């Protein structure tokens, strides 16, 4: 555990991810404010504790204890094509957040009740927030503009 800007930051191994979230829930961190991911493909030199092996992706969970007026950030390193346990059973509000991470990054959450695309069309190829995703170009035709 480290501290960043007055907030506790906990780095967890995949095997400790769900037990840590469950323990924190029991300690009063009953609101999951955010669950997102980061693709560190082009930024390998990020700051992590010495005992943490950095991976391409990182799942970041921000929890809030309203009673204690306290926040904690949980960071999980995720290798490419590795799956992550779903937090849905502990924090049902993560249903849409995990779907968004799946849709944008391609990270699969084991045990999620409906892991389908939420932002992109079902037939979309790829995951737009991956650093190796080709941006491409979509031509835009403006009404009344000369062609």
Strand order in the sheet with 7-12: 2-4, 7-12, 70-78, 57-65, 31-39
- How far apart, in whole angstroms, are the C-alpha atoms of residue 127 and residue 50? 30
57-113 pLDDT, tens digit each: 999 999 999 999 999 999 999 999 999 999 999 999 999 999 999 999 999 999 999
Which residues are CB-neighbours of 27 under 8 A, at least 6 positions away? 65
The structural domain count of the chain equals 1
pLDDT > 80? residue 129? yes
CB 20 within 8 A of CB 14: no
**Is the pTM of the predicted complex or chain greater than 0.85?**
yes
- Whether residue 145 is contained in a domain is answered as no
So what's the pLDDT on residue 141?
67
CB 118 within 8 A of CB 104: no
40: domain CATH number is 3.30.460.80
- Whether residue 74 is contained in a domain is answered as yes
- Whether residue 13 is contained in a domain is answered as yes
In sequence order, what DSSP letters do the residues of 75-86 get, joined into one string? Answer: EEEE-TT-EEE-
CB 99 within 8 A of CB 116: yes
């Amino acid at each position: 555990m480290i501290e960043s800007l007055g907030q506790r930051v906990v780095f967890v191994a995949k095997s400790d991810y769900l037990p840590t979230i469950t323990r924190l829930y029991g300690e009063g961190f009953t609101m999951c404010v955010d669950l997102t991911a980061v693709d560190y493909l082009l930024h390998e030199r990020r700051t992590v504790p010495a005992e943490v092996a950095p991976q391409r992706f990182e799942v970041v969970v921000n929890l809030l204890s309203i009673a204690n007026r306290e926040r904690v950030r949980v960071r999980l390193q995720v290798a490419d094509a590795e799956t992550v346990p779903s937090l849905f059973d502990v924090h049902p509000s993560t249903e849409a957040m995990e779907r968004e991470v799946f849709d944008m990054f391609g990270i699969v959450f084991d045990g999620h009740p409906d892991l389908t695309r939420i932002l992109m069309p079902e037939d979309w190829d790829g995951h737009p927030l991956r650093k190796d995703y080709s941006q491409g170009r979509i031509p835009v035709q403006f009404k009344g503009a000369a062609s």
